[in-house]
Amino acid sequence: MPGKKLQWHLLAADPGLLPWQDNGVANVESKGKKICVARYRDAFYAFSATCPHAGGQFSEGWIDALGNIVCPLHRYRYALVNGRNTSGEGYYLKTYPLELRPDGLYIGLPEAGLFGW
């Protein structure tokens, strides 16, 4: 089964122009989706803005020393690289691919099919 087709959308002409917070996380919106972008060890990661457990805002969380985004509500941890829940609760964080191109930082969002599926 082939993977989902992606549409690439420009987030910023320069990653430094994103609204970075002190915790290394920026809130952005692309095609109506609220997304967080994190920078960790010279790499960028994109993921859902809210925790799949209880809806905590990752913009209010932090990135731990192992490269996990930590939800501020219950301290559930998710790997930035793949969204896997690393604190053992079994949840999965939606992640999105990013590409740093000569003309800016792009995010890949799945193409919407019939009725947005």
26-80 per-position pLDDT tens digit:
999 998 899 999 999 989 999 999 999 999 999 999 999 999 999 999 999 999 9
| 102 Cβ contact partners less than 8 Å away, ≥ 6 residues apart | none
∠ CA 18-24-26, nearest 5°, is 35
**pTM of the complete model:** 0.89
SS3 assignment, position 114: helix
Phi-psi category of residue 32: left, alpha or beta, with phi > 0 → left and psi -120 to 50 → alpha: left
Instruction: Identify the pLDDT of residue 67.
Output: 96
**Cα 8 → chain centroid:** 15
* pLDDT at residue 104 in the model: 96
Q: What's the pLDDT score for residue 111?
A: 82
Full set of structural domains in the chain with CATH:
6-107 (2.102.10.10)
Compute the mean pLDDT over every residue in the chain, rounded to the nearest whole number. 92
pLDDT score, position 114: 55
Which residue is it, tokens 């990752």?
58
Within 18-80, where are the H helices?
A: none
Q: Return the number of other C-beta atoms located less than 10 Å from residue 65's C-beta.
A: 6
